[in-house]
Amino acid sequence: MPSLPMPITDVFVSLADPRQTNKVQHSLAETLTVAVCGILVGADTFEEIQAWAQEKLPWFRRYLELPN
């Protein structure tokens, strides 16, 4: 029986987060998920990833918490 695919965020949850806790707005797993998705659609810079992610924010909120 085939197993279900693992959500991409589950790949990143075991990573240690080196960021300063008081400066964090989103979980590391969600941030990396958005970044990987941006790269997969052709974004080459942080600015392109950010612009693409903001355009797709309603779609991302269907799958990620993104509280801020």
- For the chain, percent helix, then strand, then coil, each to nearest 5? 55, 0, 45
Q: 39-51 pLDDT, tens per residue?
A: 999 999 999 999 9
Supply 13's token pair.
């949850």
Q: 24-38 pLDDT, tens per residue?
A: 999 999 999 999 999
CB neighbours (10 Å) of residue 65? 12
